Amino acid sequence: MAPIGKIHSYPNNPRVAKALIAAKYNGVEVEVVPVEMGKSNKTPEFLKKFPLGKVPAFEANDGFTLYESNAIAFYVAAYKQGTQLLGATPKESAQIQQWIGVADNELAPAAATWLFPILGWMPNNEQNTNKAKEDVKKTLAVLNQHLLNHTYLVGEVITLADITVVSALLNFYRMVFDAPFRAAFKNVNRWFLTCVNQPEFKDVLGEVALAEKAQVAGAYKPATPAPAAAAAPAKKEAAPKKEAASKKEAAPKKEAPKKKDDDEEEEESYADEKPKAKNPLDLLPKSDFNLEEWKRFYSNNDTRPTACNWFWDKFDPAGFSLYRLDYKYNSELTLTFMSSNLVGGVYHRLEAARKYAFGSLAVLGEDHKNSIAGYFVYRGDGIPAEVQDTPDFESWTFTRCDPSDAATRELFNAYIAWDEVIEGKKFADAKVFK
Ligand SMILES: N[C@@H](CCC(=O)N[C@@H](CS)C(=O)NCC(=O)O)C(=O)O
């Protein structure tokens, strides 16, 4: 099927997801053309068609152009005659507009205030963040009440209202709505999980992993790349761990009736998954060094000397690569606990790489004078795509190490054993990715 047009945007933009999900429901295709933010959206050619220079920006095959993501989503939603997406009556259509307004005016501004500092796109302002949290809770309470007696936001089927509000909530659920936060909004959780587990949503969003621990803003580092990864990578996202969502938040099957046993629903929701393409790292020749076994051994034994000896005894340099990581913006780090939070955020966004990586990053030094470094072992020859695709990748220097070098081995040991002094600096904190 030929695409009906192109959307220009950076990858994984939740504003684009609205049109892409609508396209799935309507059985049409839309091509996404990647934009290098600040460059390709500022050329005279782009500005001629899209004078605000913003993305998403849509161009139909016949030259028709549109900007503003809701307008683009509407165009795609209206593309099929008799679509379910725009309501069955004028009242329903108006209600859909109401929820689109809620997403834009109540959720989007709060997302910017609360989530952008976590993504490193702007400094955190505690007072504003707290206000944003309260605003979001207010909106969620309204949604929760509405969804007590409604399966979907408008009418009895998924409409553009659900698509739009789910897209606006996506990064909240992925980054900051942890289980204690979610507990107060059970109806919203049920509806959200129902939606994101529909094949039309899943095709666009991949698995949506709910936040296990709310991310918090770390030190502000202006050099963070532009919003190229506003959302966690769609297709590559790790399948949510079952315990990540409480049993009550189970995702029913497609268009499932509302009242069903929750446990039953949880089992069913993930049984719907389509087979995924094999990761090339899973096709590598089998190695005697088993990363999962190593992670268990490391967790269950003294690091020095037992785990260290085990590691170097079994490490397979043909099947795994060893890297040293150094944070590029050490001079911008402030309090050590914030540096440690920064590492926590990095690990959270690295979820998709968990199966292929083990590492330890340590914060060394003291408040206002600290640095972060460590070592990672990756499956395969080089840095896995799952690592390179994270928004943090550019913030680190990766140096490939020779695992046969005695000094390297000793440093690796120090970083995984959390020695009191490492490379002449006082150990402050560390986190292991396993
Ligand atoms: N209300 C617009 C917002 C568009 C927008 O702000 N896009 C940002 C990226 S998320 C952008 O392109 N910024 C580039 C710029 O302002 O130069 C929509 O929903 O499409």
Dump pLDDT digits (tens) for 285-318.
999 999 999 999 999 999 999 999 999 999 999 9
CA gap 377, 379 in Å, rounded: 7
Boundary-marking domain end, from 51, 77, 103: 77
Q: Which of 50, 54, 74 to mutate to test the pocket of ligand 1 (most atoms within 8 A of CB)?
A: 54
Cβ 56 under 6 angstroms from ligand 1: yes
The residue-averaged pLDDT of 372-401 equals 93
Rounded to the nearest angstrom, the distance between the alpha carbon of 53 and the centre of ligand 1 is 8
Strands 31-34 and 5-9: parallel
> 182 with 121, same domain?
yes
Cβ 15 under 6 angstroms from ligand 1: yes
Q: Which domain holds residue 151?
A: 90-271
Looking up residue 354, the CATH number of its domain turns out to be: 3.30.70.1010
Rounded to the nearest angstrom, the distance between the alpha carbon of 54 and the centre of ligand 1 is 4
Cβ 69 under 6 angstroms from ligand 1: yes
Work out which ligand 1 atom sits closest to the CA atom of 68. 20
Cβ 359 under 6 angstroms from ligand 1: no
Q: Whose CA is nearest to atom 1 of ligand 1?
A: 68
For residues 381 and 390, the answer to whether their CB atoms sit within 8 Å is no
Rounded to the nearest angstrom, the distance between the alpha carbon of 421 and the centre of ligand 1 is 46
> 267 with 289, same domain?
no
Cβ 365 under 6 angstroms from ligand 1: no
Looking up residue 223, the CATH number of its domain turns out to be: 1.20.1050.10
Cβ 227 under 6 angstroms from ligand 1: yes
Range list of β-strands (E), 206-261: none
Work out which ligand 1 atom sits closest to the CA atom of 230. 10
Cβ 198 under 6 angstroms from ligand 1: no
Boundary-marking domain end, from 221, 248, 271: 271
> 192 with 321, same domain?
no
CA quadruple 145, 151, 152, 154: dihedral sign: negative
Q: DSSP letter string over 140-205?
A: HHHHHHHTTS-SSSSTTS--HHHHHHHHHHHHHHHHT--HHHHTT-HHHHHHHHHHHTSHHHHHHH
Cβ 68 under 6 angstroms from ligand 1: yes
| Residue 367 three-state SS | coil
**How high is the pLDDT of residue 244?**
33
Confirm whether 82 is domain-assigned. no
Boundary-marking domain end, from 77, 110, 141: 77
Cβ 111 under 6 angstroms from ligand 1: no
Cβ 55 under 6 angstroms from ligand 1: yes
Cβ 104 under 6 angstroms from ligand 1: no
The residue-averaged pLDDT of 184-213 equals 96
How sure is the predictor about 380, in pLDDT bands with cuts at 50, 70 and 90?
A: very high
**How high is the pLDDT of residue 234?**
37
- What is the number of structural domains in the chain? 3
List CB contacts of 179: < 8 A, sequence separation 6 or more.
210, 212, 244, 245, 246
> 261 with 404, same domain?
no
**85: which DSSP letter?**
T
Cβ 34 under 6 angstroms from ligand 1: no
Confirm whether 55 is domain-assigned. yes
Confirm whether 85 is domain-assigned. no
> 308 with 351, same domain?
yes
Q: Which of 15, 35, 41, 49 to mutate to test the pocket of ligand 1 (most atoms within 8 A of CB)?
A: 15
User: How many Cβ atoms are within 10 Å of 405's Cβ, its own excluded?
Assistant: 12
Rounded to the nearest angstrom, the distance between the alpha carbon of 15 and the centre of ligand 1 is 9
> 230 with 135, same domain?
yes
Confirm whether 323 is domain-assigned. yes
CA 299 distance to own-chain centroid: 27
How sure is the predictor about 336, in pLDDT bands with cuts at 50, 70 and 90?
A: confident
Q: Whose CA is nearest to atom 13 of ligand 1?
A: 54
Cβ 226 under 6 angstroms from ligand 1: no
> 13 with 116, same domain?
no
What are the strands of the beta sheet with 65-67, ordered from one edge? 31-34, 5-9, 57-60, 65-67
List 9's β-bridge partners, or say none. Answer: 34
> Does the pLDDT of residue 276 top 70, yes or no?
no
CA quadruple 392, 395, 401, 405: dihedral sign: negative
Dump pLDDT digits (tens) for 213-272.
999 998 766 544 444 334 333 333 333 333 333 333 343 444 443 433 443 333 333 333
Confirm whether 230 is domain-assigned. yes
Confirm whether 54 is domain-assigned. yes
User: How many Cβ atoms are within 10 Å of 67's Cβ, its own excluded?
Assistant: 17
b/e per residue, 49-63, with b = 16+ CB within 10 A?
ebeeebbbbbbbeee
CA quadruple 204, 9, 114, 143: dihedral sign: negative
First to last CA, the chain: 42
Looking up residue 39, the CATH number of its domain turns out to be: 3.40.30.10
> 35 with 170, same domain?
no
**How high is the pLDDT of residue 222?**
58
Confirm whether 84 is domain-assigned. no
Q: Which of 35, 41, 55 to mutate to test the pocket of ligand 1 (most atoms within 8 A of CB)?
A: 55
> 357 with 381, same domain?
yes
CA gap 139, 416 in Å, rounded: 44
> 168 with 187, same domain?
yes
Go through the chain and tell me how many residues it has: 434
Rounded to the nearest angstrom, the distance between the alpha carbon of 56 and the centre of ligand 1 is 7
CA gap 129, 202 in Å, rounded: 30
Dump pLDDT digits (tens) for 51-81.
999 999 999 999 999 999 999 999 999 999 9
For residues 372 and 335, the answer to whether their CB atoms sit within 8 Å is no
> 98 with 39, same domain?
no
**84: which DSSP letter?**
S
The residue-averaged pLDDT of 3-23 equals 95
> 222 with 330, same domain?
no
Confirm whether 73 is domain-assigned. yes
Computed over every residue of the chain, the mean pLDDT equals: 87
